[in-house]
Amino acid sequence: MIPPIASRFVAGETPAEAIEYVDGLNDRDVAAILNLLGEHYHERPPADEDAAAYRDLVTDIADSDVDACISVKPSQIGLDVGEDVFRENLESIVETADDHGVFTWVDMEDHETTDATLDAFEDFARKYDGDVGVCIQANLKRTEGDLERLADVPGKVRLVKGAYDEPSEIAYKQKERVNEAYRDYLEYMFREFDDGVAVGSHDPAMIEHAAGLHDEHGTDYEVQMLMGIREDAQTELAADGVETYQYVPYGDKWFSYFYRRAMERKENLLFAVRAVLGR
């Protein structure tokens, strides 16, 4: 059982608990991106098990009629075992999701996985008529070229600032430079992408910038934020008619995820401290 201190950031240990949480989230007109926690498996059995769990989750989403899609980490479904294992498991998930009308996102991990992730995304996005999305990180210096490559690929692209501590030779390290790149890439995407733009950010300035670009270009867009962070803003965006998604993790590997969320922002750490102290 997940303790109350972690339940702000994790929706439960089981699919049923996650679906129940999403049902309440939908009452606020916020959709969900469900993620089964797990990553960096170096043997095939756990990768295959999580791939099977995702296929079952797709069925649960379709049966429950909640407004939700799924998001999968490449290293969770076999990329650290082999690219062939990753692609086999990913296609099994995408095919099942496509059959049930559920969208599949592919998360981006560190820079060593970028090429394999983008190659798989492009192949399956074309094969399954755009029912696949991928995450792109603005802090990587290669991202301009990646976005140019993806501009005419069906499917969606989620732009985030980037959370991995990458080497300075391949990534922007200064916050101001990452923000500049994020703005530039949003402008490019709103001009060039036909299948919509996913704004993966909690930064009010970037969300406001996206709204202005939408007014200028008419490109469809959505805003994606994490569970437990700026949830009032998520509800307000949805009430204003902005398509809004919350990234909702669940599963028994919740502790390491909760620890990262608690440590990455001062507000999250204070929340955790207050919860422990009962204040």
3-state secondary structure 110-164: CHHHHHHHHHHHHHHHHHCCCCEEEEEECCECCHHHHHHHHCCCCCEEEEECCCC
* Distance set, CA 168 to CA 108, 165, 182, 251 (Å): 18, 9, 17, 34
Instruction: Please report which confidence band the pLDDT of residue 6 belongs to, taking 50, 70 and 90 as the band edges.
Output: confident
- Say if 10 falls within a structural domain: no
Residue 2, pLDDT score: 66
DSSP 3-state of 171: strand
Summarised one tens digit per residue, pLDDT across range 117-162 is 999 999 999 999 999 999 999 999 999 999 999 999 999 999 999 9
Active site residue 131: no
Summarised one tens digit per residue, pLDDT across range 186-220 is 999 999 999 889 999 999 999 999 999 999 999 99
- Say if 234 falls within a structural domain: yes
Determine the Cα–Cα distance for residues 132 and 139; give it in Å rounded to an integer: 23
pLDDT of 271 above 60 = no
Q: Which of 158, 195, 230, 261 is catalytic?
A: 158
Residue 237, pLDDT score: 98
Evaluated on CA atoms 11, 17, 19, 21, the torsion sign reads: negative
Q: What are phi and psi of 230, to 5 degrees?
A: 50, 45
Determine the Cα–Cα distance for residues 176 and 166; give it in Å rounded to an integer: 16
Q: Cite the DSSP H helix spans in 65-113.
A: 83-99
What CATH number should be reported for the domain holding residue 242? 3.20.20.220
Name the domain count of the chain: 1
pLDDT of 262 above 80 = no
User: Residues near 227 by Cβ (< 8 Å), separated by ≥ 6?
Assistant: 8, 9, 10, 11, 246, 247, 248, 249
Active site residue 158: yes
- Say if 8 falls within a structural domain: no
- Say if 3 falls within a structural domain: no
CB burial string 163-188: b at 16+ within 10 A, e below: eeebeeeebbeeeeebbebbbebbbb
pLDDT of 180 above 80 = yes
Q: Cβ(120)–Cβ(97) under 8 Å? A: no
Return the structure tokens found at 208. 């406001």
To the question of pTM greater than 0.85 for the whole model, the response is: yes
Determine the Cα–Cα distance for residues 277 and 230; give it in Å rounded to an integer: 23
CB neighbour class for 200 (10 Å; exposed up to 12, middle 13-18, buried from 19): buried
What is the overall mean pLDDT for the chain?
91
Q: What are phi and psi of 87, to 5 degrees?
A: -65, -40
- Say if 59 falls within a structural domain: yes
Range of the domain at 201: 15-277
Task: Give the relative orientation of helices 175-192 and 143-150 as an angle to the nearest 10 degrees.
Answer: 10
pLDDT of 78 above 50 = yes
Summarised one tens digit per residue, pLDDT across range 22-35 is 999 999 999 999 99
Residue 204, pLDDT score: 97
Q: Which of 50, 98, 107, 146 is catalytic?
A: 107
- Say if 6 falls within a structural domain: no
- Say if 179 falls within a structural domain: yes
Summarised one tens digit per residue, pLDDT across range 210-250 is 999 999 999 999 999 999 999 999 999 999 999 999 999 99
Q: What is the mean pLDDT of residues 101-125?
A: 97
| Residue pointed to by tokens 């407004």 | 67
- Say if 5 falls within a structural domain: no
